[in-house]
Structures are given as C-alpha cells and as structure tokens.
C-alpha cells in the first residue's frame, strides 16, 4: 500500500476503536493517548535507534559527494554489533530540528547524506522522489516506492498529502540539478538530495495502525528527492508557499481579508473586489541546462519551472506596489489595478 493510499484511509477513519464485549455488545471507543506522554516514549526509542545503528556511509564517496556514482546511492541501515562494532553511529551524523505541532514541541532528527544541488523545496510543493517507510521498532518496511512517485506536501481537502514529519524533514533538502533520459522510459537524476527522517509517531500516524505496524510507532523514511513542482492551490498567481505570510509553515492561518478563507485558497486575498491574479505582473526566462540561474528583482519570485530537450523555462510572479506604501497590491485594499 503506497503512502498516499494509507493517508486516504486515515482521512476516512477518524479514530481507531476497540470493540469490548459488554452486556449490550455495543462497541467502546478507546480515546487516543496523551501526545506528550507518547512523544517522551518515542524520542527515547528514536535516540536508542540512532545510538545502535549506522548506515552504509563507507559506500558513499564522501570526498566527491556529487559524483555520478553517488547518484545511485541508497541508504541501508544496520545494527552496530559484531563485525560492525566500530561503525560510527547515526547519533553522531544526524541533525535535529524542533517542530511545534498539536501543542507539543517535537524534536525530529534527519540524516543528510547530501543536501542536493537543485531547487529548495517548499512545505506546499509537490515532490517527486523514491522512498521507503520503516518501523523503527523492528525495521519492518511498511511502504515504499522504488520508482519515482509524486506527493503533495500540503494536505488540502480530501486530497492526500504526507504526514507532518515527512514534510518537515523533506524541506531540509534540495532537488536534482539535472537529469539524463535513459531512452527506455526511465530517467537518471543527478546531484539530488539523499537522506532519511526519524519521526515521532505524533508527527506520523500516532494512534492509527498501519499494515504490520502498531499504533504509536516512530517511523523512518529514507528518500531520494528528485524534483519539485511549485503549487498554487487557488490558481491566483501567488504560489502557495508565498501565501504563508507569517512564515510559520502553516498556510491555513493567513487570512488577509478576514473572510475565513485562507489566502492560499482565496482568489481575492485583500477582499477589494479585484482578483489577485489581476494585481500582479509576470516574467519568463529561458536558459539551458548548466547555465547560470537568472537574477530576479527583489519583488520577483519563481512560480514554475519546466525542462524540455535541455531547455529550462522559468516563470515568475512580480509583486506590484502601485502606491509605494510597502504593501503589494494584491494585499492592499486601497490599491486599485491599472
């Protein structure tokens, strides 16, 4: 079962319940455990795993991380024991970040084998990658995609996204900077991000069991990140990542006009009666693979990128400020489109 299918299932199932035999044979619902209590258990399990496991770093050409050979590298975890007793543990190689979610400040760890040389990926983009999902308790592989798959990192409506921990780990990496068409229906990506994320259950599936994985289980996701697509969920010309005005990684809490519709789903962000897309300017650049990236104006941002036959087309959005008051027209109710 692929990750998106699991998430669709989770959107349908609101809670896991246990049917207890009573006189009336009615089902009894077991409430979820306390988030903080589970997190304390999870972080101990994660850190114990990091102390007792290593990855196949000796197979990775660290002196030349962005080599063609390393493009095919796949992370393999193993236990530090026996012949592997002198291996460097993961705890000495991982980085950490704190992500507040559901009232808990979660510490999550990620292993950056290589960051990637391509584009940064935003919390609201679509990612193209291969991955493997693993239970940290017994190394059981509950999900994987050995050929490239696409996932929206932001969940909107009934569309399946990814768990918060996966999203927050992935945005620490970058995409490939080029690729080769293998002329057999496959693609070889170059200089992409390679890593793994170690996720407390509160940033994963928490009390929802997975096939072969019980509730409240910390997880690992290994991945190779290949491409991104910048999403504009309301198609108003402003990429969704730019609609996160307070920069907290939550697009749902930004509502400039107070109409209870977040900006990233609102085609008139300032409520002035003019469509947001009509209060913007747009640009386009065409370069070849290997060329220097174009230099954007201070009020210009990439909105999409495509590549065909070695030619890269970059489209941009330009934020106008007609009255010069420091607020872009699309967020300024006093500004009237020309």
The per-residue pLDDT for range 107-142, each reduced to its tens digit, is 999 999 999 999 999 999 999 999 999 999 999 999
What pLDDT score does 159 carry?
A: 60
Instruction: Show Cβ contacts of residue 298 under 8 Å, excluding neighbours closer than 6 positions.
Output: none
CB 187 within 8 A of CB 35: no
User: Three-class SS of residue 12?
Assistant: helix
Is 60 exceeded by the pLDDT of residue 7? Answer: no
Asked which of 218-222, 290-294, 334-338 is least confident by mean pLDDT, the reply is: 334-338
User: Three-class SS of residue 36?
Assistant: helix
Is 70 exceeded by the pLDDT of residue 198? Answer: yes
CB 109 within 8 A of CB 96: yes
Domains, the chain, in order of start with CATH, read 3-229 (3.10.50.40), 240-331 (no CATH)
What pLDDT score does 238 carry?
A: 97
pTM for the predicted model, two decimal places: 0.88
> Per the structure block, which two tokens stand in for 335?
């500004």
pLDDT (tens digit per residue) in 203-237: 999 999 999 999 999 999 999 999 999 999 999 99
| Average pLDDT of the segment spanning 146-174 | 89
Q: Does 155 or 322 have the greater pLDDT score?
A: 322
pLDDT grade for 155, boundaries at 50, 70 and 90: confident
């Amino acid at each position: 079962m692929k990750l998106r299918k699991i998430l669709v299932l989770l959107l349908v199932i609101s809670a896991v319940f246990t049917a207890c035999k009573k006189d009336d044979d009615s089902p009894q619902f077991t409430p979820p455990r306390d988030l903080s209590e589970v997190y304390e258990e999870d972080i101990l399990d994660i850190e114990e795993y990091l102390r007792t496991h290593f990855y196949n770093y000796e197979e990775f050409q660290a002196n030349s991380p962005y080599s063609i050979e390393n493009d095919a590298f796949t992370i393999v975890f193993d236990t530090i024991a026996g012949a592997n007793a002198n291996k460097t543990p993961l705890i000495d190689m991982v980085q950490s970040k704190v992500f507040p979610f559901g009232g808990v400040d979660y510490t999550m760890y990620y292993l950056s084998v290589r960051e990637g040389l391509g584009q940064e990926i935003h919390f609201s983009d679509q990612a193209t990658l291969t991955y493997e999902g693993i239970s940290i308790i017994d190394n059981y592989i509950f999900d994987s995609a050995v050929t490239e798959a696409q996932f929206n990192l932001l969940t909107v409506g009934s569309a399946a996204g990814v768990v918060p921990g996966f999203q927050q780990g992935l945005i620490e990496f970058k995409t490939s900077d080029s690729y080769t068409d293998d002329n057999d229906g496959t693609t070889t990506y170059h200089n992409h991000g390679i890593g793994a994320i170690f996720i407390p259950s509160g940033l994963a599936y928490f009390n929802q069991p997975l096939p072969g994985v019980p509730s409240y289980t910390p997880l690992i996701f290994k991945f190779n990140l290949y491409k991104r697509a910048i999403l504009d969920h309301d198609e108003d010309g402003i990429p969704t990542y730019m609609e996160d005005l307070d920069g907290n990684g939550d697009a749902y809490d930004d509502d400039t006009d107070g109409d209870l519709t977040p900006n990233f789903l609102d085609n008139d962000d300032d409520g002035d009666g003019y469509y947001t897309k009509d209060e913007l300017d747009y640009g386009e650049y065409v370069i070849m693979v290997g060329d220097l990236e174009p230099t954007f104006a201070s009020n210009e941002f990439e909105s999409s990128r495509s590549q065909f036959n070695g030619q890269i087309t970059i489209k941009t959005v330009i934020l106008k400020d007609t009255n010069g008051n420091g607020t872009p027209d699309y967020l300024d109710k006093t500004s009237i489109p020309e």
